Structure 1
Amino acid sequence: MRKFGELVVLVVDDFEPMRKATLTQLRSMGIERVVQAKDGAEALRILKRQTVDMILSDWNMPIMTGLDFLIAVRKDEALSHLPFVMVTAETERKRIEEAIYAGVSDFLVKPFTPERLESRIEKALDWVPRALQPKPAEKQSVPKLALEQKVELGKPTLLVVDDTPDNMELLSQLFKDEYRVRVAPSGEKALEICHSDAPPDLVLLDVMMPDMDGFEVARQMREHPVSEVIPVIFVTAMTQDDARLTGLELGAIDFVTKPINPEQLTLRVRNFMRYVELRRDLQANYDAMLESARLREEVEHMTRHDMKGPISGVISLTQGLMSAEGLNAQQKDILGSVEESALQLLSMINLTSEIYKIETDRFVLNPAPIDISSVLRRVVEMYRAVFKEKQLTLSVDTDMPVGEMAPRALGDEMFCYSVFQNLIKNACEAAPVKSRVTVELSPEDPLRISITNLGVIPQTIRHTFFEKFTTFGKQGGSGLGTYSARLLTEAQHGRIDFEVSDIDGTTTINVYLLPAKVK
């Protein structure tokens, strides 16, 4: 294990006893520099004035949840590099996926031991921010898929505490095949085991013992951060109501009366150990999900990197051919279309990483004036050739000045190209043979670009038209075109909507973009 002496850790939890327990566990590892916050909002204020090396944050908190806090940290350029461990009892897979998508470094499932906390800190310190990950060419190997890796969890541990050797032997033999059984002949020895780096998962605790009875053992367990969450089943000959009440106040999960009924006790222990194993499996599942997401991201990153080289080669070769002598007009047009298609593909590859930033709320727009008329004409010209066999009439109506006086949108040209490429392509696909698709640019504030075609959006998908994976009757359709169009439009501080005329049988998509100020 590493030396943690210089590490500064920010612990974020709205439950003060939990913050104190975590603080004690961190100090037992040699981490003395610990900063505390009761929610994400307070933690962000602390991070503005103090440097930390790692964040341990609870998930469910008032004011700002752990997930919202994580998103805010990853969005802040000055903080996005920090390892972020989410401490949670969350069991909903979709929410865990949201945290992975937002950039969590690791998960720590409650309740946890100091040993598990230390291993998570070790792992999180090796986490590399997405922006700082080495280029694919520099990687030596690709990690195995986590789901294919065998997770060694080991048997749950049962601690039997009893001052009578015969009772210890009976209980040990009863559970030795299913669990790792440890024994303690006294309360003092039981506390030593419970406060160690490898505490038990469940304690069978005799009440009547000399020197320190079972109630006192349980009381001291509840006062120590390592053992305060360890479940206890009292094994006692006491049947009085006040004794049971005392046990319940000390957090007992069950009582077993002496003389012991082996079948009954086995079922009670087995039922609770299922819960223990479920929590252990939950941690393993989260680890697998996180590792799978990391692997998928690496593969996508490598794929984008590997595709760019050949596409750039196609563009260079095409441009070289276009400058050669002896080409007729038709050949130049074909090469121009090849170049345009290759440039479009390269833009799409570059766009994937930008869309990821938008979805995770980390995109920062650097707006510039865009000749939107030129973008529209280029896209329409490309699709005239693509849909030639459909005999569509594609028209662009800008009815505006050209050149320097032409209206310009304020945004990102690559985004605009992708938006209108998707929308005009969809309109052409939906339009009947020999019909018309019109693209109209209106000089309003904001600028309005309207794309109209014959054919209506099906009633069943109108309410989800701009949502992810929405598609209808389109073979091979991914349902991402209109979703990315909305995402890229909103990233430029614009908006998008549609109008359907069931009477006329037409659909119009309207895109609104901010106009660039004319000097």
Structure 2
Amino acid sequence: MNISSKTIFMVVDDFETMRRVTCNQLHLLGANQIVTASNGAAALDILRHKHVDVILSDWHMPTMSGLELLKAVRSDKKLRNLPFIMITAEAKRERVAEAIANGVNSLLVKPYTTQHLGQHLEKAMAYKPRPATSAAPGTSRPAAPAPAAKPERPATILIVDDTPDNLHLLSHMFKEEYLVRVANNGQKALEICCSDDPPDLVLLDIMMPDMDGFEVAQRMREHPSAENIPVIFVTAMAGEDARLRGLKLGAVDFVTKPIDPEILKPRMRNFMRYVALRKQLQADYDGMLDAARLREDLEHITRHDMKGPLAGIIGLVQTLVEGESMDRSQLTEQLRLVEQSALQVLDMVNRSSELFKIETGRFQLDAKPMKIADMLQRVADIACAAVATKHLTLSVQAGTAASDGMPQALGDAMLCYSLLQNLVKNACEAAPSGGQVSITLHDQEPLLIVIANQGAVPAEIRSRFFEKFVTYGKSDGTGLGTYSAKLLAEAQGGSIALDVNDATDTTSVTVRLPRAPAP
């Protein structure tokens, strides 16, 4: 990613070398405004006196930990929406869940490369703050679904030996299973291990000129990019003193020369399982974070969808209160609409689990015929009551519910009602006072429902009209209505499209739904 030179980063870590490494990685990504702090308390003091755009904090620190800093930031009205990336080797799921519940934007597992840092920064900085909800204050959300991750490349091993024959033998032995890099001296090995693309495991010869394997391992343990890389010593030294020294330097195994491929290969596979587990840890954290955000996104969608029916209920009740001259049939009709709207709200609450399944790809449609004309009329009636003060003209061209020849849609009635209610509500809100909104059902295969209103969608959001959190000109808008409608239409095998006519200053949304076979 390319970071704007105007973006100000804060790096918080009690380990000075790690702060320098992270700052250097940010510089490589294009950042040139970075402030640092050695613990959470110092960081919080800086944040209260200096503008910062993104926080990258280590988890375990003295004075104030990264988690404590996160909680302090999220509880501060001026700071609560700052993107916050936690850098950690934490392996306890309950602790990770606590960080997620407190609004962390991303969790980055040590060790990591500049590329991985850039990917997490891109996701964290794309999140858009929302109005406070039952979630942790300031919790931010992605502006759009994250792009699919690229396939993982094979694990990388670094073979370090000053003897060309040994390098050739070992590299040939493992080239079919791993990406193999070689170094013929300790200095080159260190450069590779401490680079932004370190290997996953090092096969390290001990007896080398200038810098032996012990010194290489010692210096690896002093550098954040290399300190956690597993090392297998390859040596002709058989003494216990050498083995003990190697273990103190973090060696995971010793291989004695001459090398026996039948012994070395299984050992390598065993330690590569450790590498895979570390990578899986990052994937688990990402999955936990994504799932938590998705659940909260769906809660927002449900709350958003409930506003229309609730507003309709209020409008209908107000009509009942003011309608002194109503006869019994009119009163009964109004009460039935109130009942239908109340049931609709209850169904929306129950539907949240279905929305979760849709977004996670686990939804299974139980399609049934639906009287779509009747549904459109009910949606229109509720919308009229909700926006009565705007004095809109809302027309429905779909025949009558009693018409035997009216086509039926094939889908889920609850999902279909919600998507239509969202679109009609949006159209009524977008239309000017005294304006017109029309709903037209076209009898064809697939069925076409066109919802049109006066007022053209602003050019700035047309290309992103159905994306999550896209809104314009509404201070209380969540940008979830059209996104939810698209999600629900596609879940039923349908589609949705936007058409804007600047010449007539109108907007049309067309929904295509499968048509039920004739009985």
TM-score range (shorter-chain normalised) is 0.5 to 0.7
Give the secondary structure class of the aligned counterpart of 2:48. Answer: helix
CA RMSD of aligned residues (A): 3.8
Structure 2 regions of 5+ residues with no counterpart? 134-140, 350-519
Partner residue in 2 for 1:65:
65
Partner residue in 2 for 1:115:
115
Instruction: Work out whether 1:202 is the aligned partner of 2:201.
Output: yes
Once the two structures are TM-superposed, the CA of residue 10 in structure 1 deviates from its matched residue by 1.9
1: CA distance, partners of 2:10 / 2:283: 25
Compared CA separation, residues 51 and 142, structure 1 to 2 (3 A) = closer
Compared CA separation, residues 332 and 69, structure 1 to 2 (3 A) = farther
Question: Is the 1:59–1:88 contact (alpha carbons within 8 Å) kept by the matching residues of 2?
Answer: yes
Instruction: Work out whether 1:247 is the aligned partner of 2:232.
Output: no
TM-score by length of 2: 0.57
Once the two structures are TM-superposed, the CA of residue 285 in structure 1 deviates from its matched residue by 1.8
Once the two structures are TM-superposed, the CA of residue 283 in structure 1 deviates from its matched residue by 0.7
Compared CA separation, residues 47 and 164, structure 1 to 2 (3 A) = same
Matches within 5 A, 1:27-46: 27-46=27-46
1: CA distance, partners of 2:124 / 2:250: 33
Partner residue in 2 for 1:184:
183
* Deviations, residues 285-340 of structure 1 (Å, cap 9, x unaligned): 21122222223322221222122112212321232233223358999899799979
Q: Give the letter for the 1:286 counterpart.
A: Y
2: CA distance, partners of 1:342 / 1:316: 11
2: CA distance, partners of 1:142 / 1:47: 28
Moved more, 312-321 or 280-289: 312-321
Question: Is the 1:59–1:67 contact (alpha carbons within 8 Å) kept by the matching residues of 2?
Answer: yes
Once the two structures are TM-superposed, the CA of residue 158 in structure 1 deviates from its matched residue by 0.6
Give the secondary structure class of the aligned counterpart of 1:45. Answer: helix
Q: Give the letter for the 2:81 counterpart.
A: H
Question: Is the 2:55–2:82 contact (alpha carbons within 8 Å) kept by the matching residues of 1?
Answer: yes
Q: Give the letter for the 2:274 counterpart.
A: Y
Give the secondary structure class of the aligned counterpart of 1:49. Answer: coil
Compared CA separation, residues 59 and 222, structure 1 to 2 (3 A) = closer
Once the two structures are TM-superposed, the CA of residue 92 in structure 1 deviates from its matched residue by 2.4
Compared CA separation, residues 225 and 111, structure 1 to 2 (3 A) = closer
Q: Give the letter for the 1:94 counterpart.
A: E
Compared CA separation, residues 17 and 195, structure 1 to 2 (3 A) = closer
Structure 1 regions of 5+ residues with no counterpart? 134-138, 351-519
Partner residue in 1 for 2:19:
19
Partner residue in 2 for 1:47:
47
1: CA distance, partners of 2:174 / 2:46: 49
2: CA distance, partners of 1:120 / 1:104: 12
Partner residue in 2 for 1:104:
104
Moved more, 300-309 or 259-268: 259-268
Moved more, 275-284 or 303-312: 303-312
Q: Give the letter for the 2:54 counterpart.
A: M
2: CA distance, partners of 1:170 / 1:85: 43
Instruction: Work out whether 1:326 is the aligned partner of 2:292.
Output: no
1: CA distance, partners of 2:244 / 2:144: 56
Compared CA separation, residues 255 and 210, structure 1 to 2 (3 A) = same
Matches within 5 A, 1:312-461: 312-327=311-326
Compared CA separation, residues 141 and 214, structure 1 to 2 (3 A) = closer
Compared CA separation, residues 122 and 325, structure 1 to 2 (3 A) = closer
Compared CA separation, residues 342 and 89, structure 1 to 2 (3 A) = same
Give the secondary structure class of the aligned counterpart of 1:64. Answer: coil
2: CA distance, partners of 1:82 / 1:334: 51
Q: Give the letter for the 1:85 counterpart.
A: I
Q: Give the letter for the 2:77 counterpart.
A: E
Partner residue in 2 for 1:274:
273
Q: Give the letter for the 2:261 counterpart.
A: P
Whose Rg is larger? 1
Instruction: Work out whether 1:308 is the aligned partner of 2:310.
Output: no
Q: Percent identity?
A: 55
Q: Give the letter for the 2:184 counterpart.
A: P
1: CA distance, partners of 2:60 / 2:142: 39
Question: Is the 2:19–2:36 contact (alpha carbons within 8 Å) kept by the matching residues of 1?
Answer: yes
Matches within 5 A, 1:493-512: none
Partner residue in 1 for 2:445:
none
Question: Is the 2:2–2:29 contact (alpha carbons within 8 Å) kept by the matching residues of 1?
Answer: no
Compared CA separation, residues 62 and 190, structure 1 to 2 (3 A) = closer
Give the secondary structure class of the aligned counterpart of 2:107. Answer: strand
Question: Is the 1:4–1:29 contact (alpha carbons within 8 Å) kept by the matching residues of 2?
Answer: no
Give the secondary structure class of the aligned counterpart of 1:18. Answer: helix
Moved more, 104-113 or 167-176: 167-176
1: CA distance, partners of 2:175 / 2:252: 22
Question: Is the 2:59–2:87 contact (alpha carbons within 8 Å) kept by the matching residues of 1?
Answer: yes
Partner residue in 2 for 1:143:
145
Partner residue in 1 for 2:373:
none
1: CA distance, partners of 2:276 / 2:330: 69
2: CA distance, partners of 1:17 / 1:195: 12
Question: Is the 2:127–2:143 contact (alpha carbons within 8 Å) kept by the matching residues of 1?
Answer: no
Question: Is the 1:85–1:104 contact (alpha carbons within 8 Å) kept by the matching residues of 2?
Answer: yes
Once the two structures are TM-superposed, the CA of residue 2 in structure 1 deviates from its matched residue by 0.6
Q: Give the letter for the 1:214 counterpart.
A: G
Instruction: Work out whether 1:298 is the aligned partner of 2:297.
Output: yes
2: CA distance, partners of 1:143 / 1:120: 14
Once the two structures are TM-superposed, the CA of residue 233 in structure 1 deviates from its matched residue by 1.5
* Deviations, residues 330-384 of structure 1 (Å, cap 9, x unaligned): 998997999799799989x99xxxxxxxxxxxxxxxxxxxxxxxxxxxxxxxxxx
Compared CA separation, residues 120 and 288, structure 1 to 2 (3 A) = same
Once the two structures are TM-superposed, the CA of residue 48 in structure 1 deviates from its matched residue by 0.9
Partner residue in 2 for 1:423:
none
Compared CA separation, residues 230 and 5, structure 1 to 2 (3 A) = farther
2: CA distance, partners of 1:105 / 1:189: 37
Compared CA separation, residues 199 and 4, structure 1 to 2 (3 A) = farther
Give the secondary structure class of the aligned counterpart of 1:107. Answer: strand
Once the two structures are TM-superposed, the CA of residue 21 in structure 1 deviates from its matched residue by 3.7
Question: Is the 1:155–1:179 contact (alpha carbons within 8 Å) kept by the matching residues of 2?
Answer: yes
Question: Is the 2:309–2:345 contact (alpha carbons within 8 Å) kept by the matching residues of 1?
Answer: no
Total equivalences in the alignment: 342
Partner residue in 1 for 2:79:
79
